[in-house]
Amino acid sequence: MKSVKEISLESKILKRLENHPTCLELVSYLFADEELQEMQDYANNVSIKRLGFNDHGPVHMRQVAGNAIKMLNLLREAGIKTSLEAEEVGTFEDSMCAVIIAGLMHDLGMMIGRQGHEDMSAIFAQPIIERALMHVFPNDLKRRVIIKSLATEAIVGHMSSKKIHSIEAGIILIADGCDMTKGRARIPMAINTTPRVGDIHKYSANAINRIGIHHGHIRPIRIDIEMSGDVGFFQIEEVLLTKIDSSPAKQFVELYAGVEGQEKKRYL
């Protein structure tokens, strides 16, 4: 059974896609896919209970998909073409379909473990991608091939450990980095009380109060981060900035962060 948070995020995603009927059909199909749901749930079990990491399950994957949808729409409003559009091999909706797929499947590999999970995610995702695209584009092989390839690039590239080249994959990289608020760290901090290497990631994430994604003043996308304490800067500088620096979409992003009540620091 889906959690209240999952249902809330799905509602927001569906609303953001009201003007994109093809994407709406795709995401509705994926939200109803029972195997995908079970895989997301089990990935989260392994991440939190077995490995002691933070949320890598259905809530996180929906949050990343929602972040990516918002960012891609901001680029479109600014007149920035996606890679598929610029290369004249696909439409904006094709790009949106790819980031939706990648957002909802990029951490499936956590069912096995952390190391190399992005590659395992791509392997687990293939059958679901193929049947979802066959449902939406039954008579368009070229479109299915392009969207599947782009989504796979975004999945294997979301850890910034591999060079990626498309704006779409770059958006997923940043969207993933933007899901680092205290809510994501709450459960593992409650379950795992014994100190261990890597705890700084949980404590720094727990200091992130809010992350806003808005129209930028200088660039199309503005990311605003508000923290309760300085430890949150670790999460920004060691995780989010690393992802942004590796992203082909870096040129479209401005980043501000600061402790609540203090002036924000501009990173980009």
Structural domain spans, the chain: 4-176, 182-266
Query: How many angstroms separate the CA atoms of 57 and 150, rounded?
Result: 22
Cβ neighbors of 73 (< 8 A, separation 6 or more) are 16
How confident is the model over 198-253, as pLDDT tens digits?
A: 556 667 778 999 999 999 999 999 999 999 999 999 989 999 999 999 999 999 99
Query: How many angstroms separate the CA atoms of 227 and 67, rounded?
Result: 19
Looking at CATH, the fold of the domain delimited by 4-176 is given as Hypothetical protein af1432 (1.10.3210)
pLDDT confidence of residue 201: 66
Query: How many angstroms separate the CA atoms of 254 and 268, rounded?
Result: 5
Which stretches within 3-57 are classed as H helix?
A: 4-16, 21-31, 34-45
- Parallel, antiparallel or unpaired: strands 253-259 and 221-227: parallel
Q: Is the pLDDT at 195 greater than 60, yes or no?
A: no
Cross-strand partners of 215: 221
Residue 41's pLDDT band (cuts 50, 70, 90): very high
Please tell me which residue, 147 or 189, carries the higher pLDDT value: 147
Closest to 157 measured CA to CA, from 142, 168, 148, 147? 168
Tell me the mean pLDDT in the region 120-134. Answer: 98
- H or E segment and range at residue 78: none
Q: Is the pLDDT at 116 greater than 90, yes or no?
A: yes
How confident is the model over 52-77, as pLDDT tens digits?
A: 888 899 999 999 999 999 999 999 99
How confident is the model over 250-264, as pLDDT tens digits?
A: 999 999 999 999 999
Q: How many CA atoms lie within 13 A of 33 on its CB side?
A: 25
Q: Is the pLDDT at 197 greater than 60, yes or no?
A: no
pTM for this prediction: 0.92
pLDDT confidence of residue 202: 66
Mean residue pLDDT of the chain comes to 93
- H or E segment and range at residue 225: strand 221-227
Q: Is the pLDDT at 193 greater than 70, yes or no?
A: no
How confident is the model over 170-190, as pLDDT tens digits?
A: 999 999 999 988 655 544 444
Query: How many angstroms separate the CA atoms of 256 and 241, rounded?
Result: 11
